[in-house]
Amino acid sequence: MSIGFVFPGQGSQYVGMGKDLYENYSEIKPFYDEAEEVLGFPLKKISFEGPESELKQTRYTQPAIFVHSLAVWNLLKNYPISANAVAGHSLGEYSSLVAAGAISWIDGLKIVKIRAEEMQKSGEKNPGTMAALIGLSQEEVEEICRQASTEGIVKTANFNSPGQIVISGSINAVHRAMELGKQKKARMVTELVVSGAFHSPLMADALDGLTQALDQLEIKNPLIPIFANATAQPVTDPTIIRDLLKKQLLFPVLWQNLIQNMITHGIYRFYEIGPGKVLQNLIKRIDAGVSCLSIGKKDDLQNLNKFQE
């Protein structure tokens, strides 16, 4: 049975993430210490102790999730588990690149730091928000965005699972789209706690700084295929990977199609590596016939053998 590793993105963070790993696995201490040196801020304190208001700032959230995910991934090397393909949701795509051998851990950390800082600045300069619309079709949500665009920019941002679509854009336009979603009898309409309109044209300023950094990033041929957010297709060419990372910032995350394509390519067992269980829940909604286990804590690692049986 082929295995896929998937890595979570922003929104999966929680205060205390990684603390049990740091306290119980000696190899994780230098891992976090090295990350702090590169990042230049107290990653351990923010991740382990919070406050939540600080952890959820994009400049801290993204590196914190990235480091936690790769700490877990490193611990998985002690188990007889190897991936046949990888993918990551938004920020998680950078974690997947490290896991596939396409970029180094330190280069990944540096590029995530730049991405997070640029996205934070872009969100402050061009205020925006995001919202999840549940229970409507893609066509209905796209029509809602078209109608709400009289109030500003609003676009589809994440196609997460059947009936769960996230929109992104200027505050007034997203709020108008939320009203229209309720009128369309959406099962749930929820504004997300984010610091910007991710995966929308309002992130254009962030793309300038990120592009410069990506152009300098050494990307090698990955050891296994990476399923890309922007196309939902497997990719192994470093030039294409670089271009898709640039495209990813402004374009929707095609998560539902991506998982379906991984399944079509023979992946039937998924491991979500990092904080939370967001991707596990999405994968179950996409295809209840495949298995998925979230691994982010010491207890999860200790229960791995039961899942393998």
The CA distance from 212 to 125, in Å, is: 19
The CA distance from 131 to 192, in Å, is: 5
According to DSSP, the residues that pair with 57 across neighbouring strands are none
Which of 219, 233, 228 has its CA nearest to residue 102?
Answer: 219
Q: Give catalytic status of residue 170 as yes or no.
A: no
Q: Give catalytic status of residue 199 as yes or no.
A: yes
Q: Which amino acid is at 183?
A: Q
Q: Which amino acid is at 92?
A: G
User: 3 near 273, Cβ under 8 Å?
Assistant: no
Handedness of CA 10, 58, 92, 34 (dihedral sign): negative
Angle between helices 28-39 and 105-125 (to 10 degrees): 50
**Is residue 40 packed enough to be buried (19+ CB in 10 Å), middle (13-18) or exposed (0-12)?**
exposed
* Helix, strand, or coil (residue 193): coil
> Which of these is catalytic: 12, 47, 69, 90?
90
> Which of these is catalytic: 68, 89, 175, 199?
199
The CA distance from 84 to 270, in Å, is: 10
Which of 228, 252, 224 has its CA nearest to residue 242?
Answer: 228
The CA distance from 170 to 175, in Å, is: 9
The CA distance from 180 to 143, in Å, is: 10
Active site amino acids: 90, 199
